[in-house]
């Protein structure tokens, strides 16, 4: 589902955030990306949804899209296959819960009837069917993140990228969000999650990729957050 070979990302200010990354992630996997602040986790996941362009690399493929060759006009097609969830939710403040989720389908030209059915389906999945008419500022952080997850999966992407999705949430709410991401993964979506949350990584076990200084320094099936405690 995701393949990187010798991928490099150097920012225009001269910082090399990703040095020489090679990794293969199969369909249906759940992968944590861990590592110290500034190690390149965010850059690594941004390369997967073409928020950043690779500077060099032999291969960078996500859901069959060749991201080394993709044209700007084709990026919307990539985004149908790759949903993204952020630490700060990035909901549209003047749109209701329903509208925030529906918008992701409207922009790709789905029909109103299909939109209504699917939006209610995903809001039900994230447990927010009763909040359809509410605006983001009337929601708790956990609820906002549920809406953002609903928006990310409404177009049934093959891959879900989550960049520190629990970074702004308390421990209990973080666990609930994790259960939701796990459920989505259980339905077949490949999940890649950059995180600092040791409790989560150590309790809900999945493959762990540890990044340090732009390189993968550990790749462990069902790993812990740190090698040594
Ligand atoms: P992490 O997510 O692990 O904290 P990042 O990928 O955000 O790491 O950052 C990796 C390195 O790249 C850091 O040194 C950071 O300062 C730098 N960096 C990140 N984004 C940019 C940018 N847009 N321009 C220049 N440097 C950046």
DSSP 8-state class, residue 72: G
Contact status, residue 85 vs residue 161, Cβ threshold 8 Å: yes
Cα separation of 196 and 207, whole Å? 15
Contact status, residue 53 vs residue 11, Cβ threshold 8 Å: no
Segment 132-145, tens digit of pLDDT: 999 999 999 999 99
Give the pLDDT of residue 121. Answer: 97
pLDDT at 112 over 70: yes
Position in ligand 1 atom list of the atom nearest CA 163 = 2
First to last CA, the chain: 32
187 lines ligand 1 (CB under 6 A): no
- Whether 83 is in a domain gets the answer yes
- Whether 163 is in a domain gets the answer yes
Please state the φ and ψ torsions of residue 73, each to the nearest 5 degrees.
-70, -15
Segment 20-34, tens digit of pLDDT: 999 999 999 999 999
In the sheet with 190-194, reading across from the earlier edge strand, the strands are 82-86, 159-163, 190-194, 30-34, 207-212, 215-220
Mean pLDDT over each residue of the chain, to the nearest integer = 96
CA neighbor of 98 nearest in space, from 76, 117, 79 = 117
- Whether 94 is in a domain gets the answer yes
Distance between Cα 135 and ligand 1 center (Å): 32
Cα separation of 42 and 137, whole Å? 26
pLDDT at 220 over 90: yes
Cite the beta strand spans of 58-205 per DSSP E.
59-62, 65-66, 82-86, 159-163, 190-194
pLDDT band per the 50, 70, 90 thresholds, residue 228? low
- Whether 225 is in a domain gets the answer no
B/e letters for 79-96, b = 16+ CB within 10 Å, e = fewer, are bebbbbbbbebebeeeeb
Q: What number is the average pLDDT over the span 153-159?
A: 97
In the sheet with 2-10, reading across from the earlier edge strand, the strands are 16-25, 2-10, 59-62, 65-66
- Whether 228 is in a domain gets the answer no
- Written as one string, the DSSP assignment of 128-162 is -GGGTT--GGGS-HHHHHHHHHHHHHTT--SEEEE
Which residue has a Cα nearest atom 12 of ligand 1?
17
Contact status, residue 30 vs residue 23, Cβ threshold 8 Å: no
Q: How many domains does the chain have?
A: 1
Position in ligand 1 atom list of the atom nearest CA 39 = 3
Q: What share of the chain has pLDDT > 70, as a percent?
A: 99
CATH number for the domain harbouring residue 19:
3.40.50.300
Give the pLDDT of residue 223. Answer: 86
Give the pLDDT of residue 227. Answer: 73
- Among 7, 13, 15, say which to mutate for ligand 1: greatest number of ligand atoms within 8 Å of CB: 15
Contact status, residue 133 vs residue 119, Cβ threshold 8 Å: no
CA neighbor of 60 nearest in space, from 44, 74, 48, 72 = 48
- Whether 195 is in a domain gets the answer yes
101 membership: H or E segment, kind and range: helix 97-106
173 membership: H or E segment, kind and range: helix 171-186
Segment 174-208, tens digit of pLDDT: 999 999 999 999 999 999 999 999 999 999 999 99
Q: Is 168 helix (H, G, I), strand (E, B) or coil?
A: coil
Q: Which domain holds residue 200?
A: 2-220
- Whether 226 is in a domain gets the answer no
- Whether 227 is in a domain gets the answer no
């Amino acid at each position: 589902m995701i393949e990187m070979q010798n991928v490099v990302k150097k920012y225009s200010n001269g910082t090399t955030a990703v040095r020489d990354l090679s990794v293969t992630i199969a369909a249906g996997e759940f992968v944590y990306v861990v590592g110290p602040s500034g190690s390149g986790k965010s850059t690594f996941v941004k390369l997967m949804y073409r928020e950043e362009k690779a500077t060099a690399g032999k291969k960078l493929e996500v859901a069959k899209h060749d991201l080394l060759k993709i044209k700007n006009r084709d990026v919307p097609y990539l985004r149908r296959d790759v949903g993204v969830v952020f630490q700060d939710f990035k909901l549209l403040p003047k749109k209701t819960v329903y509208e925030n989720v529906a918008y992701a389908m409207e922009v790709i030209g789905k029909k109103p009837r299909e939109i209504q059915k699917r939006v209610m389906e995903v809001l039900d999945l994230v447990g927010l069917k009763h909040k359809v008419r509410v605006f983001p500022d009337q929601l708790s952080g956990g609820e906002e993140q549920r809406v953002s997850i609903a928006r990310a999966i409404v177009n049934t992407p093959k891959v879900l990228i989550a960049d520190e999705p629990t970074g702004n949430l308390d421990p209990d709410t973080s666990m609930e969000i994790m259960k939701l991401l796990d459920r989505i993964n259980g339905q077949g979506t490949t999940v890649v999650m950059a995180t600092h949350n040791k409790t989560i990584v150590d309790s809900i076990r999945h493959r762990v990729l540890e990044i340090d200084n732009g390189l993968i320094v550990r790749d462990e099936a069902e790993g812990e957050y740190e090698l040594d405690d």
